């Protein structure tokens, strides 16, 4: 093993520290796999004084990113800065200088995908990003390579640990969303500003990447429906479990029909307890994929965290080191997707929670609105809380068009006896 492959790490935070720890612990294993010497030559971060809990030679540390980008001996750059800038400039400059890149930056990939891929192809280098979706779960490489003989028909994903933890604890303990969110923040499962996770944006960015690899098409987040979990109440979760034998999950959905129309969306979904995804709880992630040849495949594991994510980052480095001379284009060479389905034309069954005064004629008025919009009711249940209070009315519809349901909710919420905004959850 005379040849040495040099790595440069930009970003020495939590994940970066995990990468260093992984290299220290398993370097002999890595070198055996690639049959070359491997060296972490330089680590760049704005803060090189804080103890990260790993042993690093001070000579390896720098605050100047050009010590990596302009070093001709460094073959692979690991970008773990996060965000859009300066991460984008770092990645583009690295590739222009002939260096392969490994990143976990889902936000950057989701926004600047084509620019990054074009730069990689132009400069005959590889960009790998297994850690960007599903943390430590081997997911993107199997989707791109292991399932390459398939037309991917469906992708369902539980791919945000924060949202999944909150929904799991609401289900287990019957607690309100705000209570569980505070608990998740105290335990480090949710950021102090959790908007990105609880409103579905993190899930949406990951779904963009999954759709590129699965269906060969880039869809900007502004072009598909994204909805978070902040309006879910314990009543919704309890009714789903007791009456519908289902659980509430924040689900990423992408599926293509026989006509080449891609349906892509993120929102809370009622998942039957018989479905494999229903048992994915707490901070765990899972992606359920259906290929036309292989059928259903489930990939499950820890979707975040220092060491699981570091595992995926180092695996990407190994993949590159085993084939240093190739550049890779991701997704099918020609996508069979001809059109992105507008959310208004999505068809689903719907759960409705309507909070209304308990008085004669209420159900008649509600059913009349739904009937006028070709929405058929499968079941209805009313739970009396207090004689003087508004009560929740739970309805489940047969399959209906999204635009008709949205119009119905608009009309229902204007009724004087309806006292809260109506909640809708789509069924899987």
Strand 377-382 relative to strand 390-397: parallel, antiparallel, unpaired?
Answer: antiparallel
Looking at the structure, tell me whether residues 175 and 113 fall in a common domain. Answer: no
Which helix (H) or strand (E) segment is 370 a member of? helix 362-372
Q: Is the pLDDT of residue 2 over 80?
A: no
Per 3-state DSSP, what percentage of the chain is helix, strand, and coil (rounded to 5)?
40, 25, 35
Q: Is 326 within a domain? A: no
Q: Is 338 within a domain? A: no
Q: And the tokens for 78? A: 């690991």
What pLDDT digit, counting tens, does each position of 370-396 carry?
999 999 999 999 876 555 578 999 999
What pLDDT digit, counting tens, does each position of 208-231 carry?
999 999 999 999 999 999 999 999
Looking at the structure, tell me whether residues 365 and 220 fall in a common domain. Answer: no
- Provide the domain count of the chain: 3
Once rounded to an integer, what is the mean pLDDT over residues 203-211?
Answer: 97
Report the CATH number at residue 61: 3.40.50.720
Name which of 229, 233, 224 is nearest 198 in CA terms.
229
Looking at the structure, tell me whether residues 121 and 255 fall in a common domain. Answer: no
Q: Is the pLDDT of residue 19 over 80?
A: yes
DSSP string across 54-74: S---GGGEES-THHHHT-TTE
Report the CATH number at residue 420: 3.30.70.260
Looking at the structure, tell me whether residues 150 and 273 fall in a common domain. Answer: yes
Looking at the structure, tell me whether residues 111 and 33 fall in a common domain. Answer: yes
Q: Is 44 within a domain? A: yes
Residues belonging to the active site: 206
Report the CATH number at residue 290: 3.30.360.10
Looking at the structure, tell me whether residues 233 and 275 fall in a common domain. Answer: yes
Looking at the structure, tell me whether residues 155 and 288 fall in a common domain. Answer: yes
pLDDT-derived band at 304 (thresholds 50, 70, 90) equals confident
Percent share of the chain, pLDDT over 90: 90
Looking at the structure, tell me whether residues 292 and 228 fall in a common domain. Answer: yes
Task: Provide the 3-class DSSP secondary structure of residue 171.
Answer: helix
Looking at the structure, tell me whether residues 237 and 292 fall in a common domain. Answer: yes
Once rounded to an integer, what is the mean pLDDT over residues 36-65?
Answer: 95
Name 40's Cβ contacts closer than 8 Å, sequence gap at least 6. Answer: 6, 7, 8, 9, 20, 23, 60
Looking at the structure, tell me whether residues 27 and 119 fall in a common domain. Answer: yes
Q: Residue 158 belongs to what domain range? A: 140-302
Q: Is 331 within a domain? A: no
Q: Is the pLDDT of residue 315 over 60?
A: yes
């Amino acid at each position: 093993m005379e040849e040495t492959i040099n790595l440069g790490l930009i970003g020495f935070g939590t994940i970066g520290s995990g990468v260093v720890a992984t290299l220290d612990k398993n370097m002999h294993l890595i070198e055996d796999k690639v049959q070359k010497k491997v060296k972490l030559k330089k680590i760049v971060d704005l803060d090189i004084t804080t103890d990260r809990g790993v042993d690093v030679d001070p000579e390896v540390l720098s605050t100047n990113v050009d010590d990596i980008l302009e070093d001709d001996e460094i073959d692979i750059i690991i970008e773990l800065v996060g965000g859009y800038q300066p991460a984008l400039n770092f990645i583009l400059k690295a590739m222009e200088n002939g260096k392969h890149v490994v990143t976990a930056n889902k936000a950057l990939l989701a926004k600047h995908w084509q620019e990054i891929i074009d730069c990689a192809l132009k400069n005959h280098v590889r960009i790998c990003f297994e850690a960007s979706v599903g943390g430590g779960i081997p997911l993107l490489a199997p989707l791109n390579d292991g399932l390459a003989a398939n037309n991917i028909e469906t992708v369902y994903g539980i791919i945000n640990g924060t949202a999944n933890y909150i929904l799991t604890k609401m289900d287990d303990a019957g607690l309100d969303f705000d209570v569980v969110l505070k608990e998740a923040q105290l335990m480090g499962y949710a950021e102090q500003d959790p908007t990105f996770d609880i409103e579905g944006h993190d899930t949406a960015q990951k779904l963009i990447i999954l759709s590129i690899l699965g269906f060969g098409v880039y869809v900007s987040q502004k072009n598909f429906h994204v909805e978070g979990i902040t309006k879910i109440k314990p009543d919704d979760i309890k009714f789903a479990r007791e009456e519908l034998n289902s659980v509430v999950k924040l689900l990423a959905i992408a599926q293509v029909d026989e006509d080449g129309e891609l349906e892509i969306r993120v929102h809370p979904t009622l998942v039957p307890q018989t479905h494999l995804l229903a048992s994915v709880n707490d901070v765990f992630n899972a992606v359920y994929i259906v290929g036309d040849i292989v059928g259903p495949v489930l990939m499950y594991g820890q979707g975040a965290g220092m060491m699981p994510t570091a595992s995926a980052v180092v695996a990407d480095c190994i993949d590159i080191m085993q084939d240093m001379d190739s550049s890779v284009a991701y997704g099918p060479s020609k996508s069979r997707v001809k059109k992105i389905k507008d959310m208004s034309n999505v068809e689903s069954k719907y759960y409705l929670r309507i909070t209304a005064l308990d008085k004669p004629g209420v159900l008649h008025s509600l059913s009349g609105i739904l009937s006028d919009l070709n929405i058929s009711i499968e079941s209805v249940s009313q739970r009396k809380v207090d004689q003087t209070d508004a009560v929740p009315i739970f309805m489940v519809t047969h399959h209906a068009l999204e635009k008709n349901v949205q119009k119905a909710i608009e009309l229902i919420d204007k009724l004087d006896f309806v006292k809260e905004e109506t909640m809708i959850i789509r069924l899987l």
